[in-house]
Amino acid sequence: MVDVSYKKRLMDYFKKNLKKGYPIDTLRVALINQGYLRPTVDEAAREAIKDMAAEAPILKEKPQIEHEMIIEDSPIVIKKSFWKKFISFFKR
């Protein structure tokens, strides 16, 4: 079994760097390349993510979307489509 303080230091490393915006896979590969054991790194990553998820605030209200219609005083002009104009050109 891995020493608790050893795993705690790895968890703190993950938390600190995840908050900075580094991807989890990059951090895992960096630690494995430095000689840390893969199962220990994976376990510390899982624990760090679980701790960070528990600390995240829970959003209780949904955002309110508002719509506004803009009506201008000018009349709406309906234009013929390209193909209707094209066909009417040959019907003359």
**Residue 57's pLDDT is what?**
81
Query: In angstroms, what CA-CA distances link 28 with 7, 22, 23, 75?
Result: 13, 11, 9, 63
Helix (H, G, I), strand (E, B) or coil at 86: helix
pLDDT at 70 over 80: no
pLDDT at 88 over 60: yes
pLDDT at 49 over 70: yes
pLDDT at 44 over 80: yes
**Residue 92's pLDDT is what?**
65
